[in-house]
């Protein structure tokens, strides 16, 4: 560690690339614990920016390719002296911007800029966060998980430039070789996700517990006109058109739409709140007005939508794969024992949802446990405490 660290700073971490809003809120809390913690946003896709809540640095994109490369390279070189830990996220995203990555691939080899971090004197530590089924697990392996094959309803099953055995496994092998520590949470327990440097750390996928809170004040333009007694079932899909094929997607919209229609025909006072492509900072205003949040019924775990629902004190429904729960229980038994998500499959979701619709007290009780669970396990405060230990141990390991 440098002199600044020895005088009181615990260390210096740079989050290289966005992971929704997780790195942003985690970095803010780490600063309170004495860390230098910054976030670099190098994502050039403008429509992706709706998922991010902030950054300390953001690359501009010049029409002049040389200027763009110079910006990437200059930031990279300066960061070598400013940070001890580099925390990357997302499959194939372990780099410092597209321009520098392309340059290194063309003149040296792919990810050589990350290789350099590992070979410098006073070797920097590299951490990586996974993001889904195609991250280190082959399509063949993932398709074996039952009782339903999620790949059968996935838009990307037959798009090898996005998901294939070769692409997923080659990335997993490289990712595990470069990273000192790989962050995951329960899912895709096969292939390179079973390596000894891969750890369940659900706290990384964190939220600001004040930004998502049950007593959130809803601005007039977001208030629903539905009667208070109508049970509102919230369902959302990011990039709905892009991720949907033949009216099917892994979020199971094709199951929930007819299911709500059926419940309405049977006389239940229920409405589906179906939203997509709403900026993340605004979607919470619709979530907080919902009574139930529903999500994936075949995948086996949950993502940001359910974590946000729990933080807002809402009961959430999705499929929790028993094998993944048991695997996670070995590393984090309390997390599994306290998890309040209501598990359902395509065969059971009718009974599960009807039971929740007809029992407001049950919804309230699950909602209270959900908020308590989310604050304990998925708040940025909890994440900072966990990563304070993880990063410190990495730095002390030499």
Helix orientation angle between 360-378 and 349-358, rounded to the nearest 10 degrees: 110
Give pLDDT tens digits for 83-101. 999 999 999 999 999 999 9
Torsional class of 277: left (φ above 0), alpha (ψ -120 to 50), beta (otherwise): left
Tally of domains in the chain? 2
The separation between the first and the last C-alpha atoms of the chain, rounded to the nearest angstrom, is 9
Torsional class of 54: left (φ above 0), alpha (ψ -120 to 50), beta (otherwise): left
Whether residue 252 is found in the same domain as residue 179: no
Distance of CA 181 to the CA centre of its chain: 17
| 282: its two tokens | 């605004």
SS3 350: helix
Whether residue 228 is found in the same domain as residue 166: no
In a domain, 213, yes or no: no
Q: Which domain holds residue 52?
A: 3-206+380-396
CA nearest neighbour of 177 among 164, 196, 201: 196
Band (pLDDT 50/70/90 cuts) for residue 5 is very low
Which residue in the block uniquely carries the two structure tokens 């199971």? 252
Write the CATH number for 55: 3.40.50
Give pLDDT tens digits for 178-219. 999 999 998 888 999 999 999 999 999 999 999 999 999 999
Helix (H), strand (E) at residue 37:
strand 36-41
Task: Tell me the whole-structure pTM to 2 decimals.
Answer: 0.94
Whether residue 63 is found in the same domain as residue 185: yes
Give pLDDT tens digits for 314-336. 999 999 999 999 999 988 999 99
In a domain, 266, yes or no: yes
Whether 315 and 366 have beta carbons less than 8 Å apart is answered as yes
In a domain, 211, yes or no: no
Whether residue 36 is found in the same domain as residue 103: yes
Cis amide linkage into residue 236, ω under 30° from 0: no
């Amino acid at each position: 560690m440098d002199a600044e660290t020895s005088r009181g700073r615990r260390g210096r971490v740079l989050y290289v690339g966005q992971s929704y809003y997780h790195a942003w809120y985690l970095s803010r809390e780490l600063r309170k614990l004495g860390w230098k913690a910054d976030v670099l946003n190098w994502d050039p896709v403008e429509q992706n920016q709706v998922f991010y809540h902030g950054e300390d640095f953001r690359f501009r994109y010049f029409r002049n390719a040389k200027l763009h490369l110079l910006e990437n390279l200059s930031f990279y070189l300066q960061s070598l002296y400013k940070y001890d830990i580099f925390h990357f996220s997302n499959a194939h995203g372990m780099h410092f911007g597209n321009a520098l990555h392309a340059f290194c691939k063309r003149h040296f080899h792919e990810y050589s800029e990350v290789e350099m971090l590992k070979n410098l004197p006073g070797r920097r530590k590299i951490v990586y966060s996974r993001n889904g089924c195609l991250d280190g697990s082959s399509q063949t392996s993932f398709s074996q998980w039952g009782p339903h094959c999620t790949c059968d309803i996935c838009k990307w099953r037959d798009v090898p430039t996005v998901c294939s055995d070769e692409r997923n496994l080659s990335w997993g092998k490289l990712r595990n070789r470069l990273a000192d520590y790989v962050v995951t949470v329960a899912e895709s327990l096969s292939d390179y996700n079973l390596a000894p440097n891969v750890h369940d750390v659900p706290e990384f996928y964190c939220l600001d517990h004040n930004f998502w809170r049950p007593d959130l004040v809803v601005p007039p333009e977001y208030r629903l006109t539905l009667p208070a007694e109508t049970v509102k079932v919230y369902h959302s899909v990011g990039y709905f058109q892009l991720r949907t094929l033949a009216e099917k997607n892994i979020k199971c919209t094709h199951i929930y739409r007819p299911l709500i229609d059926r419940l309405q025909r049977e006389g239940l006072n229920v409405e589906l709140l179906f939203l997509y492509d709403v900026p993340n900072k605004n979607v919470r205003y619709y979530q907080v007005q919902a009574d139930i949040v529903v999500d994936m019924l075949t995948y086996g775990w949950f993502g940001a939508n359910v974590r946000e629902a729990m933080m807002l004190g809402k009961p959430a429904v999705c499929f929790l794969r028993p094998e993944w729960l048991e695997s996670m229980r070995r590393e984090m038994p309390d997390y599994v024992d306290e998890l309040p998500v209501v598990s359902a499959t395509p065969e059971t979701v009718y009974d599960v949802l009807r039971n929740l619709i007809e029992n407001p007290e049950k919804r309230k009780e699950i909602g209270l446990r959900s908020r308590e669970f989310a604050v304990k396990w998925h708040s940025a405060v909890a994440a900072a405490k966990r990563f304070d230990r993880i990063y410190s141990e990495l730095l002390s390991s030499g």
